[in-house]
Homo-oligomer: A and B are copies of this chain.
Amino acid sequence: MDLLDAIDDVSTRDWEAPDTEGTIRFAMVGCGWWTRQAAIPAVQGSDYCETTVAVSSSTEKASEVADEHDTIEAAITYDEFHDGAAADEYDAVYVCTPNALHLPYVETAADLGKAVLCEKPMEATAERAQQLVAAAERNPEPLYVGYRMQTDPVIRRTRDLVQSGALGKPIFVRGNMSQHLLDVIPDTDQWRLDPDLSGGTTLMDIGLYPLNTTRYLLDSDPTHGRANTEFDQASFSETGDEHVAFTLEFPDGATASCTASYGAYRSSSIRVLGTEGEVRIEPAFYPDEPRTIHLSTDGIEAEIDADQCNQMLAEFDYFGHCLLAGEKPHADARHGLVDVTIMDELYDSAEHGETVAYDF
């Protein structure tokens, strides 16, 4: 049962080298709920990272965060960040602002020669994401896009399984991620609903999970895509995509059929059906629930349970480890650009009812 052995270990960090020493000091740019409730607590548990600087719209907001954490030595405004304030106090920048504001902070980080962990999606439009790539590529320090699924051992083992050929040739990938946005964040004025700040709501924010995970599992980028979007709640009228279904065709003939909704019941799953077997991860994407890998091939029917994984901790540890070990993170700015380009074009497809072509 080599196959089962291969995916049975759903906790090992296969990227981690023993005896990696040192600490990467982070400036947190943007102090919204995700930074405060997910990122900073994750970094507190990290072996390789600590939070030393808080950056927000006002000194008061930044100080409020700083006061909660002993490790934070400086609380500065966005303007002060751009002016290079407290630059000696951090080695890397975590950018967790609205999507359309990632670019200026990445540009400043490039000017300052700081490593960057940029939240996904990388920017709000393909044009801005392209500019972000330019900034990242003139920066001697690495930029990593925070695809926390990619650091999760459950996803990584599944990728190993798919890449091993144990399922035969992949034919279909099917994924979904859904929950009620306005229950999670009860604010109808939030930036995710403003197309100028987000570039789109559901596809950009959670459709990206099945999308990027498909690319990651297949280790391939699509050639064609199409999508349709719908909305029921008035709050989604400006971006139009409360619900989105999209299909991506890959060069070797695999097709991904994915859905995402910020108005549907919470659910997440991804599955790969190959010529010789199928693997399904369900639940798949939410960090607060244990996941199960369901594997079916000739002669094997298996369910492998995996504990919860603090994906944000894994993400910070992975990037911190990369920086300390001098390794290049997998999801660089060009990897992030591909997703933003795909989604930008999928919105066009939804608007015009036509298949769009990609050339990656």
Contact = CB atoms under 8 A, between A and B. Distances in A.
Interface of A: 167-169, 171-172, 174, 176, 178, 180, 224, 226, 228, 230, 232, 243, 245, 247, 249, 253, 255, 257-259, 261, 263-265, 267, 273-278, 296-297, 353-355
B354 A261 contact: no
Contacts of A264: 171-172, 273-275
A241 to B, nearest CB: 12
Contacts of A230: 249, 253, 255
Contacts of A278: 265, 267
B277 A273 contact: no
Given A255-B243, A255-B259, A273 B168 contact: no
Q: Interface SS of chain A: helix, strand, loop or mixed? A: strand
A263 B232 contact: no
* Nearest 4 pairs of A and B residues by beta carbon: A353-B355, A171-B264, A245-B255, A257-B257
Count this chain's copies in the assembly.
2
B273 A267 contact: yes
A226 B297 CA distance: 30
Nearest to A173: B259
A257 B258 contact: yes
Contacts of A226: 226, 247, 353, 355
Nearest to A171: B264
A354 to B, nearest CB: 6
24 contacts: A168-B265, A169-B232, A171-B178, A171-B264, A172-B259, A172-B264, A174-B174, A178-B273, A224-B228, A226-B226, A228-B249, A230-B255, A243-B255, A245-B255, A247-B257, A259-B273, A263-B275, A264-B275, A265-B274, A265-B276, A265-B296, A267-B273, A267-B278, A354-B355
